[in-house]
Structure 1
């Protein structure tokens, strides 16, 4: 009877774990993400003190391990105001934000019990920086994303290619001598991730560093199962080998539309963290046009900022977030009620489709000449207007043979100069019913009127 009870308990435990994992489908978990359009990436850490590369400056031996870690003495976070951050992100039009809770350097921004290498114990900040960030985002109804590097170049059981002193004092490993070094490291990762999951219940995990080991070494499937058991609705980026939910190209906009859910992450200048000597900031127009390109292909833009060690955000970054927010606010009817646009060939520029496919949004990056052309639309058009203005545009069909299923070209009036947005103009084409596209190669008109 005793053994029967034990078996029953084990079966129930397994059933509970499976039911937690199967509670939501991948599509259900991704639903909010695919409507989000814009997120803010925050790279915040020691590296901002000297304005050097995050973690990689150690890897490339541009700075010694000890000198890198000494930056922590000046990482104060004294002016850190996560509520103002969250308000700024919302003003920019973002629906979520992702904070680097721990980069490859191993420095944790929260009060972790699995490592003494954290901002509570090692910096003048002396407090958990993740908790108020999470609270501030949720207060503004923004989704919470936590970046976590699954590699740790400070952990004594993780091999590195640069000189590193003995760091065991920072990583408690009581009663773990019977484990192999790699088993100890996986136990450490699991411990921190369970800590983050149960403490902050994030909506999204943004992993990094999976390229250094195989899926089997990372025990990626087991880790994904654990994440879903702790939070059945969480989504995970693609950097957990093949167990991610969406792809994450970075720094170069995809030329071909990616399949499935995806997100493009991009810096404002040429660096992720605070790097005051890097003044090569992208113009506002480039950021806005990149945003339009990304959402027109069904993706999200994850736009990066690098706060200063005191917790403030550089004026150049604030300026760009606010400018992006002004554009998004002006065009929100097109941005947030839409999906990926027309296939290539119908319009020379990015496009968006309303979710019910009764509206097409055409993006104009430059002032058009003579008229705007839209090809292959078989529907009757009700109206055309410039988004964010009251201007209605006249239009007419040119060419084609409607009776022979050849729609011809829709020729649209050019907006008045005052209604052309200096960064990107959106033109809304409203159809009488759901979009029907002509995707043929052309054919002879065998019967004329």
Structure 2
């Protein structure tokens, strides 16, 4: 990519990278039965039967200004709404397909037009979700897996007919009828050729050059302007080389589902937002409006409370960059701006000693204060340097009680440009969690005594251990609800530190219920591998070998939610 192209790309992306927080809206005919947006496929509902839902769809309580107000007060900067989902129903006035909300329902209004007007008034970017490959209503839509084969015969499908007579013309409608569109959010591109993917991106660029395109426009890696992570998936440190976004639900489903009452708490949502921003990403948080056109009260309540927190802490979120440290902190997370670090401390992790210790800050701290304190009264700080270990330590004096709700922010103003030791150093608490892609990845060999499971790879770190002692080594994995951990690790694991090897199949020793990174349908599982003695302070090599370590540069994007067990991190804890 040339310098001029990189500059143009950065300019196009600027609003999005600064926004950090958006609203996802899954709304369509599937709201009526309330069984989720995949019901037509899962129950093999015939097209003629499914079309009858349109005659019942009359969301008379829909109020575009109210929706936009809810999003804005939550601190969201953009809205992505399903203009067409996999069922093929257009939630706008489409001249190329009568199966749309204006022509096929008693509602007769175009909610996208009303949202475009409301977003323009409030300074919110309107964006559209469009299912460009899966369309169960159209006889010629072809996906690599999820096709309508109960109404249509696969051998009679002719994908170019669908592509050229519906998909591309509807994209033209969306990009010419509603003013400036922030981005087009494509979904599930399995089986789409690279040529057709590039054709769609070029089509969008020809209509609105500044409109962003997400990576799900293609299953080939590197397409689009930014990386859409898997549903509810927060990536690991070192996993993504370009901007990314996590689409996440407030409960467990995307479309309206009155049976799904498993709602994330406001505290959990604040922590997840902070965690995602600290890793350099955006959070796209979903609501599923009712058939009447209202956003569920449980969603509205949480978004209001979330907005109260983002309003007080906007400086530490919007336009902030990722933490300069390549690992998580057991007390919270860090975001950054030039000359500033923002320490987001979970209230239940607020230091009882009245002091927070942070290693690796080389700058002199000129001023430290609580973001919730309008007077910016100085917090006491002490900085020391261990010449032998080349280790910088900062101690920050804190009040006895956390000043804000859920997560409280400490601001560090630094002299000069941010200068941080980004090496792996055990935290003052005696723990350190290292995500797999943050290590040096190499090809490995089959672990003795185990077979199968694909190619083995190595991840290696150099770890500074400031305090000697006995350390427990554990693995962190995400296990899908229908998976067995031991089966996922059937090829074995080998972990070596200070010449001490640990070989075996990880077991489910602990489940973390309040993980800021793990969402349904996965659970965060910790597996103890053993204990190692560290005789003296210094740097130690740690190497992990496993068939579950992903290669860094694959041809295709990872299939979302496909892996039953995902190996995430190695954790070191002094005991």
Larger fraction in strand: 2
Once the two structures are superposed, residues 180-213 of structure 1 have per-residue CA deviations (whole angstroms, 9 ceiling, x without a partner) of: 9322111121111111111123120000121143
Provide the residue aligned with 1:392 in structure 2. Answer: 378
SS at match of 2:168: helix
| Counterpart contact for 1:396–1:410, Cα < 8 Å | yes
One of 106, 110, 113 as aligned partner of 1:124: 106
One of 227, 236, 241 as aligned partner of 1:247: 227
1:164 paired with 2:151, answer: yes
SS at match of 2:62: coil
Q: How far did 1:420 drift?
A: 3.4
Q: Residue 23 and residue 252 in structure 1: after superposition, are their counterparts in 2 closer, same or farther (change >3 A)?
A: closer
One of 340, 353, 356 as aligned partner of 1:359: 340
1:235 paired with 2:212, answer: yes
Once the two structures are superposed, residues 332-368 of structure 1 have per-residue CA deviations (whole angstroms, 9 ceiling, x without a partner) of: 12112421112235854310111x2x11011111322
Provide the residue aligned with 1:175 in structure 2. Answer: none
One of 184, 194, 201 as aligned partner of 1:205: 184
The farther-off stretch of 383-392 and 421-430 is 383-392
Q: How far did 1:164 drift?
A: 2.5
Provide the residue aligned with 1:9 in structure 2. Answer: none
Normalising to structure 2: TM-score of the pair? Answer: 0.66
Provide the residue aligned with 1:186 in structure 2. Answer: 163
Provide the residue aligned with 1:17 in structure 2. Answer: none
Alignment of 1:181-330 (within 5 A): 181-187=158-164, 188-200=166-178, 201-216=180-195, 219-241=196-218, 242-249=222-229, 250-257=231-238, 258-330=240-312
Give the gaps of 5 or more residues in structure 1.
1-20, 167-179
The farther-off stretch of 57-66 and 118-127 is 57-66
Counterparts of 1:24 and 1:197 in 2: how far apart (Å)? 24
Q: How far did 1:416 drift?
A: 3.3
Counterparts of 1:24 and 1:429 in 2: how far apart (Å)? 30
SS at match of 2:190: helix
One of 408, 415, 424 as aligned partner of 1:425: 408
| Counterpart contact for 1:92–1:325, Cα < 8 Å | yes
SS at match of 2:91: coil
Counterparts of 1:33 and 1:51 in 2: how far apart (Å)? 32
Counterparts of 2:188 and 2:70 in 1: how far apart (Å)? 29
Q: Residue 185 and residue 22 in structure 1: after superposition, are their counterparts in 2 closer, same or farther (change >3 A)?
A: farther
Counterparts of 2:399 and 2:365 in 1: how far apart (Å)? 17
Counterparts of 1:346 and 1:45 in 2: how far apart (Å)? 39
SS at match of 1:326: helix
Counterparts of 1:287 and 1:62 in 2: how far apart (Å)? 35
Counterparts of 1:347 and 1:399 in 2: how far apart (Å)? 21
Q: Residue 113 and residue 23 in structure 1: after superposition, are their counterparts in 2 closer, same or farther (change >3 A)?
A: farther
SS at match of 1:137: helix
Larger fraction in helix: 1
| Counterpart contact for 2:309–2:405, Cα < 8 Å | no
Counterparts of 2:280 and 2:98 in 1: how far apart (Å)? 42
Q: Residue 116 and residue 421 in structure 1: after superposition, are their counterparts in 2 closer, same or farther (change >3 A)?
A: same
Q: State the Cα RMSD in Å.
A: 2.5
Counterparts of 2:420 and 2:7 in 1: how far apart (Å)? 34
Provide the residue aligned with 1:76 in structure 2. Answer: 58
Counterparts of 1:439 and 1:105 in 2: how far apart (Å)? 47
Counterparts of 2:327 and 2:83 in 1: how far apart (Å)? 43
Counterparts of 2:340 and 2:33 in 1: how far apart (Å)? 50
Q: How far did 1:154 drift?
A: 0.5
Give the gaps of 5 or more residues in structure 2.
424-462, 467-535, 538-575
Normalising to structure 1: TM-score of the pair? Answer: 0.84
Q: How far did 1:130 drift?
A: 0.8
Once the two structures are superposed, residues 246-285 of structure 1 have per-residue CA deviations (whole angstroms, 9 ceiling, x without a partner) of: 0111212223252211111100011001111100001111
Counterparts of 1:108 and 1:276 in 2: how far apart (Å)? 23
One of 1, 8, 16 as aligned partner of 1:25: 8
1:50 paired with 2:33, answer: yes
Provide the residue aligned with 2:554 in structure 1. Answer: none
Counterparts of 2:366 and 2:148 in 1: how far apart (Å)? 64
Provide the residue aligned with 2:441 in structure 1. Answer: none
Counterparts of 1:211 and 1:439 in 2: how far apart (Å)? 38
1:373 paired with 2:357, answer: yes
| Counterpart contact for 2:87–2:136, Cα < 8 Å | yes
Q: Residue 407 and residue 214 in structure 1: after superposition, are their counterparts in 2 closer, same or farther (change >3 A)?
A: same
Number of equivalent positions: 405
| Counterpart contact for 1:406–1:438, Cα < 8 Å | no
The farther-off stretch of 252-261 and 32-41 is 252-261
Provide the residue aligned with 1:108 in structure 2. Answer: 90
| Counterpart contact for 1:347–1:375, Cα < 8 Å | no
Q: Residue 410 and residue 345 in structure 1: after superposition, are their counterparts in 2 closer, same or farther (change >3 A)?
A: farther
Higher relative contact order structure (alpha carbons within 8 Å, sequence separation ≥ 6): 1
